[in-house]
Amino acid sequence: MSYDSNNIFAKILRGEIPCIKLFEDAHTLAFMDIMPQTDGHALVIPKEPATTLFELSDEAAQACMATVRKIGNAQKKGLGAEGVVLMQLNGPAAGQTVPHFHIHVIPGSIADLRKPHATVMADQGHLKAFADKIIAAL
């Protein structure tokens, strides 16, 4: 799949549109999902341009998983999440809506994900309050 450098996450990586950032290192960025499925729902993306897991380098995949672990641990510690669900969609046929590889890191249970995916825009102050708790636990 050819990479579209105008996708929304590429714009976030270039700083062209804002995000509520949780963590950044040389290879990855973690930020709040704008339409969370549970409170504290975060996204981890590689800086490498890749549409799906199948184009991503092994090195970038490894860097993403290290960041996922950091964020998940901070959700457990900072939000008291007993469970953390990972979701990762590859291709429109799977339901992927943003064509830059990403891993959803969702505090809670699979049973909380009954809300339809990516539909309700959260209030920025609400997102920021949960982000602050995650950041404090990093």
- Please give the residue ranges that form the binding site for ligand 5GP (CB under 6 A): 8, 19, 31-35, 89, 95-98, 117-118
Helix axes 124-136, 58-79, angle to 10 degrees: 100
Q: At which residue do the structure tokens 């490894």 appear?
A: 62
In the complex, the smallest distance separating the C-beta of residue 9 from ligand 5GP, rounded to whole angstroms, is 8
Here the tokens at position 29 are 């960025």
Name, in order, each residue with C-beta under 8 angstroms of 84's C-beta and a sequence gap of 6 or more.
Answer: 72, 75, 76, 105, 106, 107, 108
CA-based nearest residue to 1, from 92, 116, 68: 92
CB of 22 to ligand 5GP, least distance (A): 11
Q: Which residue has the closest beta carbon to ligand 5GP? A: 35
Q: Shortest gap between Cβ of 86 and ligand 5GP (angstroms)?
A: 11
The verdict on whether 27 is a catalytic residue reads: no
Active-site pick, 102, 104, 117, 126: 102
Active site residues: 102
